[in-house]
Amino acid sequence: MRRDIAAAAMELFATKGYEATTVDEIAAAAGVARRTFFRHFRSKEEAIFPDHDDTLERVKAVLDAAPPHEYPLDTVCRGIREVMRMYAAQPAVSVERYRLTREVPTLREREIASVSRYERLFTRYLLGHFDEGAHQDGDDDPLLAEVAASAVVTAHNHVLRRWLRAGAQGEVEGQLDRAFAVVRARFAGVGLPHGPTGRGGAQAGAAGPPAVLTAGGEGSDVLVALARTDAPLSEVMRTIEKALNRG
């Protein structure tokens, strides 16, 4: 029922305009009573985003079911893929919704509020997986968790917006992989995970991002790479390539 009402709303917004469409018209187009509309949505702008509540629950399930050895940022990246799947399930609707949110300030604010819910969820998750020794004595500021969560959401939204601007054409999984690799590389060496090995220790079996160090003075053609033995080869090669390009 929620999806039927949302589909009717989107069609009316596209043909008649958001401001000119009323709740009564949406209910009539969906074949339901006005009170039925309000059982599912508090306002007409809320009907634009019918799936975020369910998607948030799916994201929570990914975090809750994460294996204990998984690198925390990898878990968060897996979780936010549920959001991309939500948009990809109805590409035409997603493109139209993107157009509307760009044109209607009220809808843009609603979208921003939805994004913040994911960021808060990821921040809470990452707070439980940081190296406690990385904080100064008496400092419980969750800055690192907030920055990491925001970085993952920003990377996801960058890929999502580019895909929507292209009319939801093309694959996005590879683009997400590349965007998330950038985020993981930036957080290498900041003491993100702590786990069974104790405070500040790496989690057993965790495939954290590889660290790459350059050696030699100006003009040197030597690159020294340091990587975990269980780091994915693709991650190692991507990080080395970036280091070479910077040189």
Query: pLDDT of 20-39, one tens digit each?
Result: 999 999 999 999 999 999 99
Which has the minimum average pLDDT: 4-8, 220-224, 239-243?
A: 220-224
Q: What is the mean pLDDT of residues 81-96?
A: 90
179: pLDDT confidence band, cut at 50, 70 and 90? very high
pLDDT of residue 74: 92
Closest CA to 118 of 157, 91, 92, 87: 157
Residue type, 17: G
Is residue 164 within 8 A of residue 95, CB to CB? The reply is yes
pLDDT of residue 11: 86
- The domains of the chain, with CATH numbers, are 1-48 (1.10.10.60), 51-207 (1.10.357.10), 211-246 (no CATH)
Residue type, 205: G
Cα separation, 43 vs 218, whole angstroms = 62
At 121-143, the pLDDT tens digits run 999 999 887 654 554 444 455 78
Output 8 or 80, whichever has higher pLDDT.
80
Cross-strand partners of 214:
223
Average pLDDT along the chain? 78
Output 75 or 113, whichever has higher pLDDT.
75
Query: With 90 as the cut, is the pLDDT of residue 101 above it?
Result: no
Closest CA to 223 of 200, 206, 246: 246
Residue type, 13: F
pLDDT of residue 53: 84
Query: With 90 as the cut, is the pLDDT of residue 151 above it?
Result: yes
Whether the model clears a pTM of 0.85, i.e. scores above it, the answer is no
pLDDT of residue 229: 53
228: pLDDT confidence band, cut at 50, 70 and 90? low
